[in-house]
Chains A and B, each alone.
Chain A
Amino acid sequence: MVIRATLVTLLALGAAASTLLAQRTPVVRGINGSWEAYPLRGEGFGSGVPPKTPVAAPQPLPEPPLKQPHLDQWRATQARNAELTRKGLPPPSTGMACIPEGMPGMMQVTFPMEILETPGQITIIQEAFTQVRRIYLDAPPIAPQDAEPRFSGHSTGTWEGDTLVVQTVGVKETVHFRNTPHSMNMRITERMRLLNDEIMQNQVTIDDPEYLTKPWTWTWMYKRWPGYKIQEYVCEDNRYFEDPSLKYQRLRVN
């Protein structure tokens, strides 16, 4: 009985201490606010305002290190799509049906994104398709087999010093970033870090032993866009449709 009472008291003290600790941990680490893709795209796509300290542009994304026969299939798809595009017959895409990019595509920030830092959670809102990701901080990791398949997956994060490390699992198998297939065991690791007050780096690594020979990794960069208010974007009517016989995108003119 005494032991039980002591245990309860200790647990209560522990809970109180962790609450105090949580209150002392700063909620905001300075990534709050609106961001656009860097290098800048301008002319309606972004602010067009160069950073005070220009930072070298990230390297273009490498080819996905797919296992065979996926790599050959991927290369064939890329070649066919490039050829169709050259002929003015754009290949079909999920966007035709107003389907959002999902992860990791939404983090390439084709349209601006907003980051909200709140206690225990970081929320990222991508303007295009009004996509939202919720990153639960210091939460128990989710096993891929327990994760309900979603476009944005399930994300947990931790601050390692000045770097926000985010793990994402549970991305739907139909979400093909750059036409790349993946399994339900795919894991996305992002390491986000401010390079200076205006530029944030996101080192992305995709692990998927079923499909990849080695991790697929690249870097994206974002520039802070002070004062930009994210706009509504509901994809309500895409006038493009797949030509049933020729399998390319056509515009509904009338």
Chain B
Amino acid sequence: MKLRRVSVRAAAIVIALGVFSVSSVWAHHSFAAYEPSKQIKLSGVVTEFKWTNPHVYLQIDAQESTGGETKRWLIECASTSILNRAGWRFNLVKTGDKITVIVAPLRNGEPAALLKQMILPDGTKYGNGAAAGSATIQ
């Protein structure tokens, strides 16, 4: 019975993705500029947390988990209401905080990326809403 309920829900989600994954979901803009399959992990310090619409942005001075130089990255998040519904708050992070993010970088090589997951120093993880997709690496 429980399994059935789960599968009904899964079916509904699959249908929803099918119906809504077309351009109209993202009335503000699409996420197509980001690498669809590549994900990287960045760790660093928050230089700005902009709690704005249509999208929230994190700016971090961060280094990739594979090494390399520290760069200033712009991390795109969902809208404020989507993040609130996903458990975020306007004061969840502040300038100077150390954070780790799993992101999909821009295809054109500029230091900007779409957030998939944010990990705070205590290990708490925050997603970025269904349309942004979830982390596929750890």
Contact = CB atoms under 8 A, between A and B. Distances in A.
Contact of A239 (B12, B26, B55): B55
A67 interface: no
A201 to B, nearest CB: 15
Contacts of A28: none
A110 B24 contact: yes
Interface string B85-111: 110000000000000000000111011
A93 B54 contact: no
A43 B29 contact: no
Contacts of B55: 238-239
B129 A233 contact: no
B79 A42 contact: no
B72 to A, nearest CB: 8
Which one of B5, B79, B85, B130 has the greatest number of beta carbons of chain A within 10 Å? Answer: B85
Contacts of B31: 90
Interface string A35-52: 001011111111000100
B130 A41 contact: yes
A74 interface: no
A57 interface: yes
B137 to A, nearest CB: 18
Interface residues of B, number: 54
B118 interface: no
Contacts of B110: 251, 253
Given A40-B12, A231-B84, A251-B110, A50 B23 contact: no
B129 A105 contact: no
A17 B12 CA distance: 49
A21 B8 CA distance: 46
A239 B57 contact: yes
A93 B27 contact: yes
Interface of B is mostly: mixed
Nearest to A81: B23
A127 interface: yes
A253 B74 contact: yes
Contact of B85 (A45, A101, A238): A45
Nearest to B130: A43
Contact of A127 (B20, B25, B81): B81
A88 interface: yes
Given A44-B83, A45-B131, A128-B27, A253 B15 contact: no
B27 A40 contact: no
Interface of A: 37, 39-46, 50, 54, 57-58, 60, 81, 84-86, 88-91, 93, 95-96, 98, 101, 105, 108, 110-111, 127-128, 178, 231-240, 249-251, 253-254
Interface of B: 5, 8-9, 12-13, 15-16, 18-20, 23-36, 50, 52-55, 57, 72, 74, 76, 78-86, 106-108, 110-112, 127-131, 134
